């Protein structure tokens, strides 16, 4: 036993193992995206077409993840639903990051009255619970995918705004920024050429972490029946439709979407954590 334990400990400290652990999130996420992109090849079932002759079939070689209450192939709905759920998550996080980075950069650069106005606006957004803001926005207009993306993005922009503003305030006092302004460089040039490259690491890390939150929000909205239209396959819609199935002893209609959500969210979060550990401690200011 001691010999096997020593061999296992040597394996854990092998240079290759930490690299695999660092990139495990990216590998898993890439695998999920690859499966979804190959959906037409991996399955020939239509994710929205009902088949009343195959209701609640358990997982088999014909239906690897079984079928639901309308006879639809769960595996097919998982693959096609991955596209929609991850698209909403990534788009919402990018939109929130663009707005938040812009507000934080302007507040930290101009300081003074502009900093006070923008940051008080951020504080107001922090006072509103995220899910309450999302539900309020969804009640204003008919449900659609762009509206869901906007509703998820708006409550999340305040976090990158605060982080970027804090870093921008520090950068604004750096000698190379003051020198550039003293030599006659315009505000737009300084913002894009000097300030933005040095806060890019914050934008990348926060966008990645917000993507995992956006995916969970999309799944939660779908579970509540407030997500994408019911005819569209998404992980949240699948969980919502599977609530009654558990009472009937049908476990696969909720198990597989839940596993996909957990794996994807954890992989995205691991990517964000790895990026944070790589960027933040080792970054250097770049004066160009």
The pLDDT value recorded for residue 283 is 45
Mean pLDDT lowest for which of 106-110, 269-273, 276-280?
A: 276-280
When the pLDDT of each residue in the chain is averaged and rounded to a whole number, the result is 80
| Region 139-163 average pLDDT | 86
| Region 24-45 average pLDDT | 85
- Tokens representing 104? 């934080």
Q: Is the CB of residue 164 less than 8 Å from the CB of residue 104?
A: yes
- Tokens representing 184? 């006659």
Cα distance between residue 148 and residue 143, in whole Å: 7
148 CB-near residues (< 8 Å, 6+ apart): 88, 92, 138, 218, 221, 227, 228
Q: Specify the pTM.
A: 0.80
Collapse the DSSP code of 142 into the 3-class scheme (helix H, G, I; strand E, B; otherwise coil) and give the result.
coil
pLDDT at 47 over 50: yes
- Segment 175-215, tens digit of pLDDT: 877 777 777 777 787 887 888 888 888 888 888 888 888 88
| Region 68-96 average pLDDT | 88
The pLDDT value recorded for residue 281 is 47
pLDDT at 75 over 60: yes
Collapse the DSSP code of 67 into the 3-class scheme (helix H, G, I; strand E, B; otherwise coil) and give the result.
strand
The pLDDT value recorded for residue 279 is 67
Where along the chain do its domains lie? 87-288
Higher pLDDT, 226 or 89: 89
The pLDDT value recorded for residue 240 is 84
pLDDT at 5 over 60: no
1 CB-near residues (< 8 Å, 6+ apart): none
Using 50, 70 and 90 to split pLDDT, how confident is the model at 280?
low
pLDDT at 275 over 70: yes
Least Cα distance to 97 among 201, 177, 210, 213 occurs for: 210
pLDDT at 282 over 50: no
Mean pLDDT lowest for which of 80-84, 170-174, 257-261?
A: 170-174
Least Cα distance to 75 among 109, 44, 120 occurs for: 44
- Segment 255-269, tens digit of pLDDT: 888 888 888 888 888
Least Cα distance to 74 among 255, 283, 278 occurs for: 255
pLDDT at 64 over 60: yes
| Region 161-177 average pLDDT | 83
Cα distance between residue 255 and residue 90, in whole Å: 24
Q: Is the CB of residue 138 less than 8 Å from the CB of residue 78?
A: no
The pLDDT value recorded for residue 19 is 58
Using a 10 angstrom Cβ sphere, with 0-12 exposed, 13-18 middle and 19 or more buried, the burial of residue 33 is middle
Eight-class DSSP state of 140: T
* Domain 87-288, CATH: 1.10.3720.10
Q: Is the CB of residue 286 less than 8 Å from the CB of residue 271?
A: no
pLDDT at 100 over 80: yes
- Tokens representing 252? 């696969």
pLDDT at 246 over 50: yes
């Amino acid at each position: 036993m001691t010999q096997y334990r020593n061999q296992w400990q040597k394996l854990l400290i092998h240079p290759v193992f930490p690299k695999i652990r660092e990139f495990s999130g990216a590998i898993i996420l890439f695998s999920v995206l690859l499966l979804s992109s190959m959906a037409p090849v991996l399955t020939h079932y239509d994710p929205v077409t009902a088949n009343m002759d195959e209701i609640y079939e358990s997982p088999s070689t014909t239906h690897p993840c079984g079928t639901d209450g309308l006879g639809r192939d769960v595996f097919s709905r998982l693959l096609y639903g991955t596209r929609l759920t991850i698209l909403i998550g990534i788009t919402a996080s990018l939109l929130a990051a663009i707005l938040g980075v812009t507000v934080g950069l302007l507040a930290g650069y101009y300081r003074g009255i502009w900093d006070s106005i923008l940051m008080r606006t951020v504080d107001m957004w922090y006072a509103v619970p995220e899910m309450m803001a999302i539900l309020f926005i969804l009640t204003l207009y008919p449900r659609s995918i762009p509206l869901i993306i906007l509703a998820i993005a708006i409550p999340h922009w305040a976090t990158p705004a605060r982080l970027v503003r804090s870093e921008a305030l520090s950068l604004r006092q750096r000698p190379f920024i003051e020198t550039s302004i003293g030599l006659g460089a315009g505000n737009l040039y300084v913002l894009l050429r000097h300030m933005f490259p040095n806060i890019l690491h914050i934008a990348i890390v926060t966008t990645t972490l917000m993507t995992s939150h956006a995916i969970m929000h999309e799944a939660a909205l779908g579970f509540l029946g407030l997500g994408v239209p019911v005819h569209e396959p998404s992980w949240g819609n699948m969980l919502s439709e599977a609530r009654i199935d558990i009472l009937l002893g049908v476990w696969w209609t909720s198990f597989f979407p839940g596993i996909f959500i957990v794996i994807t969210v954890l992989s995205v979060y691991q990517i964000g954590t790895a990026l944070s550990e790589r960027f933040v401690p080792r970054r250097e200011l770049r004066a160009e």
